Amino acid sequence: MAFERIFTAPEQSFFLLGPRGTGKSTWLRKTFINAHVIDLLSEEIYQRLLAHPGQFANELRAVPSGRWVIVDEIQRLPGLLNEVHRHIEEKQLRFVLCGSSARKLKRAGVNLLAGRALHRAMHPFVPEELGEQYDLEEVMRYGALPIVWNSSARQETLAAYVQFYLKEEIQAEALVRNLSGFARFMPIAALFHGQTINVTNIAREAGVARTTVMGYLDILEETLLCFRVPAYEAKLRVRERKLPKWYWCDPGIVRATKQTTGNPAPEEKGALFEGIIAQLLRAYKDYRGIYDDMYYWASGDQTRTEVDFILVRGQDLIALEVKSGNTFMEAWCKGLRVVTKLKGLNRRIIVYPRGPAMKTEDGIDVLPFHKFADLFAENDLWY
Quote the pLDDT of residue 270: 96
Q: What is the CATH number of the domain that holds 112?
A: 3.40.50.300
- In whole angstroms, what is the distance from residue 363 CA to residue 347 CA? 8
Quote the pLDDT of residue 115: 67
User: In Å, how far are 133, 225, 277, 338 from 136, measured between CA atoms?
Assistant: 10, 20, 11, 30
- Between vectors from CA 201 to CA 198 and to CA 206, what angle results, nearest 5°? 120
Quote the pLDDT of residue 108: 45
Question: Are 157 and 263 within one domain?
Answer: yes
- In whole angstroms, what is the distance from residue 139 CA to residue 145 CA? 9
Question: Are 242 and 145 within one domain?
Answer: yes
Contact 254, 273 (CB under 8 A): no
Question: Are 23 and 45 within one domain?
Answer: yes
Q: What is the CATH number of the domain that holds 164?
A: 1.10.10.10
User: In Å, how far are 68, 170, 208, 243, 255 from 74, measured between CA atoms?
Assistant: 15, 16, 31, 33, 29
Helices (H), the chain: 24-31, 43-51, 54-61, 81-91, 127-130, 136-142, 146-149, 154-164, 179-190, 199-206, 210-222, 251-257, 266-288, 334-338, 369-377
Q: Provide the residue-wise pLDDT of the chain in tens; the chain has 383 residues.
A: 578 999 999 999 999 999 999 999 999 989 999 999 999 989 999 999 999 999 999 999 999 999 999 999 998 898 899 899 899 989 999 999 999 888 777 764 455 666 678 889 999 999 999 999 999 999 999 999 999 999 999 999 999 999 988 887 787 766 777 888 888 999 999 999 999 988 998 999 888 899 999 999 999 998 899 999 999 987 655 565 678 999 999 999 999 999 999 999 999 999 999 999 999 999 999 999 999 999 999 887 766 789 999 999 999 999 999 999 999 999 999 999 999 989 999 999 999 999 999 999 999 999 999 999 999 999 899 97
Quote the pLDDT of residue 365: 97
Contact 246, 228 (CB under 8 A): yes
Contact 21, 147 (CB under 8 A): yes
Question: Are 30 and 94 within one domain?
Answer: yes
Contact 130, 369 (CB under 8 A): no
Quote the pLDDT of residue 262: 92
Question: Are 141 and 255 within one domain?
Answer: yes
Name the domain boundary from 274, 308, 335: 274
- In whole angstroms, what is the distance from residue 128 CA to residue 219 CA? 30
Q: Would you give the end-to-end CA distance of the chain in angstroms? A: 34
Question: Are 217 and 116 within one domain?
Answer: no
Sign of CA dihedral 274, 147, 191, 242: negative
Question: Are 114 and 136 within one domain?
Answer: no
In-domain check, residue 317: yes
Question: Are 249 and 306 within one domain?
Answer: no
Residue 160 CB partners (closer than 8 Å, separation 6+): none
In-domain check, residue 3: no
Q: What is the CATH number of the domain that holds 364?
A: 3.40.1350.10
Question: Are 197 and 270 within one domain?
Answer: yes
Phi, psi of 70, deg, nearest 5: -100, 125
What is the extent of the structural domain holding 240? Answer: 127-274
Question: Are 106 and 154 within one domain?
Answer: no
Name the domain boundary from 93, 121, 149: 121
Question: Are 221 and 319 within one domain?
Answer: no
Name the domain boundary from 61, 95, 121: 121
DSSP string, 291-346: -SEEEEEEBSSTT--EEEEEEEETTEEEEEEE---SS--GGGGHHHHHGGG-TTEE
| % of the chain at pLDDT higher than 70 | 94
